[in-house]
Structure 1
Amino acid sequence: MENGGYAEEHGDGSARSSLVFLGTGCSSSVPYPTCLIRPSPSPCAVCIQSLSLPPELNPNYRCNTSLLIDYCSDECEHKYIIIDVGKTFREQVLRWFTRHEIPQIDSVILTHEHADAILGLDDIRLVQPFSPTNDIDPMPIYLTQHSMESIATKFPYLVPRKLKDGEEVRRVAQLEYRIIESDCEKPFTVSGLQFTPLPVMHGEDYLSLGFLFGEKSRIAYISDVSRFPETTEYVISKSGVGQVDLLIIDCLYKVRSHNTHLCFPQTLHAIKRIFPKRALLVGMTHDFDHHEDNLVLAEWSRREGIPVQLAHDGLKIRLDL
C-alpha cells in the first residue's frame, strides 16, 4: 500500500471518484515551530527532515487534517466536497489544487468548530469567483447548530445579514449555512453524495462529528475522536451494520496519551474492534516519522490482517463512490 513514494495515487485506476488528503497533521501542523525556534539538545528529527525537502516530496510535512472528495456521479459530473477548512487551508489550496487538478469547491462539511477545522473559512473567497459586491452564489457549508453559533461569534462578517444604512459592502466569502444533526439516523446529501453523521467524543465534554459516505465504497472519516459511542461504532464496524472499505481515523501521539484524541495504541485497538478492510491514520504530530512508522505498521498489518498506514498530505486514492 505504501512503497516510500510520495504524492502517488492508490486504489482503482479506472475509478471515477477519488479522495485527496489535503492535510494529515494535528492542529499545530508539522514541522512544529517549537522544535525549530527552541531546539532541545536533541532536535526533533522529523521536524528537521520536514524542512529538508519541498513539501510535495516530504510526507513528514503535515498541514491541518482535511479531506477533499472528488465525487463523480452516475451522470459523470464531478463535484468537489471538502471536509474541514482549517488554519492551513490557503496553503493546501496552493499546494494541492493544481497538482490534482481541482478546479473548484462545491460544498464544505465541518466536523466541529475548533480552529483547525474552521479558520480557513475566510479564505474560501480565494476559490470563489471574484465579485467586489459579493454578487455570486454562496457556497453551502454543512455544520451543526453548535458550530454555527460559534462561527457567528468568531466570524460575524461571514454570516449573511442585512447591511445597515451607510455600511459599506466588503468582499468576503459568500457562504450559505445548512444545519445538520449529530445523529446516525439522520443522513444528509451534499452535492449529490449522501453522508451519515458519526457523533464521537472529542474529550468527554465535547461532541465532534465523523462521517460515513459512499455506496460502492463505504468510507468512514473520523478526524477528531477520543472515544466512540456504541451507536456510532456499531454503524461502521464489521460486527455491526457492516465492514467499511476504508477507515480514516485520528492518531495524535505515538507513545503519550491525550484526553481529547486517540493516540497510537488506542487507534490500533479501535481499528481491531471496527475491523475495516483498510485504515489510514491522520492527525499526527511530529512524533511520527512517515517512513519508519509505516514499516512498523506494515508488520502490524500482516499480523492482524488489516492493512494500516499513515496517510500523507497530497495522497490521492481513486475509488468509486
Structure 2
Amino acid sequence: MGNSPKHIAVYTKIVADKLLERGYDEETIFRGTAFDASLLQEEAPMVEAADNLGFFEHAADLTKNDLIGFQLSQGQDNRRIGLISYVGLASPNVLEFLLNYGRYVRVVSDVFDGDLSRLKDQGLLSWRYRIPSNIERRQYVEYSVTVLLNTLRHYTGTKLVPRQVGFEHQRKDHVEVLEEFYGCKIMFGAECNSFEFKKADLELPLISADEQLLKVLRGYGDQVLAEKKGQHDGLIPEVEQAIADQLAAGGASLDAVASELGMSPRTLSRKLANRDTTFFRVLEDLRKSLSKSYLRDSDLALAEIAFLLGFSGLSSFNDAFKRWTGQSPGQFRAV
C-alpha cells in the first residue's frame, strides 16, 4: 500500500525506548505491531498512520495503563520531530508558533487536518485526523497534545494554561489527572480536537525566536509542501465526518452526504466502490466504532448513545450492536 497516508513515527520510537527503560524486551514491545527493533535505529521514520497510532494503543494494552500516552509525554518537547518544531520555535510568539506549526505539519503527516481560521481572533486551534474512525487514537492524541503544551510552556518560560481543551475521543477515568496538568476543563467526546488560548497568551514571546532561521525554514517547508501536494486520498474519512455531522439529526443518507461533499450520489458511490467499499459499509463501520467508544469510555445512557448514532430507538440500536459484536450493548459495557 505505497500510497497509504503516512505519519511521522518519532513519538512511536520514543515510546518504544521508554518501554525498554521500563524493563520490557524488544520482542514483547513490538509483538503484534507493524514494527520491529529496526525502528529504534531510525532518525525520522515515516510510516502508515494507522500503524503509528495503533502502537500507542498497543503500549496501553501492554502496560495495562490507559494513561500511558499522557504519562510518557511528561518532560518531552517536540524538537525531535524536526522541521515543523524548529519553524515553530523560530517564530516570535505563541500565535506565530501555532500558525507555522499548523501550516507545515503536512511535512510530517498526511492525516493531520487543522483549522487555523479562528486562531488569531478567537484563540481557537482545532484539528482532526483524516483516518478511518475504527483506528484508535486516544493515547497518541493525549501524548502529542501534552508534548505540544510542554513545548509552549518551556519556550515561553510560563505555566501556560489554555482556556479549554477538547478531545474527540471519550474518557471517563482519570479525567482529573489530565485537567490538573492542563489547568483547565477538558471536553471529551468533542466535535474535534482543540486548544483555546487567551489572546494575551498568544502574544507571549518565545525565547527561541530567530527571524533569519525562520525565513530559511519556511522556504524549505514551502518546497516540501509543494512536492507533497495532492499525494494522498482522504475520501473515506471525509465521508465519515459528513456522516457523523448528520447522525444525531436523524441519521445520514447517501444523498445528503454526497451533497455535503459537493458531488452526486452516483459519483460518491463510484468513488467508494473504487476503494472497495460502499456508503452503507462506511456508515455501519462508523456506527460500530463510535458505539464501542461510547460504551467503553463514557457514562452516556444507552438511549443517548442510540440517539447520537442516529437510530430510531433503543431496540434498533440493540439489534444492530448484537449483529456487529454478538453481544448486547449492556453486556459489552459490563465486560
**TM-score (structure 2 length as normaliser):** 0.30
Which structure dedicates a bigger proportion of its chain to strand? 1
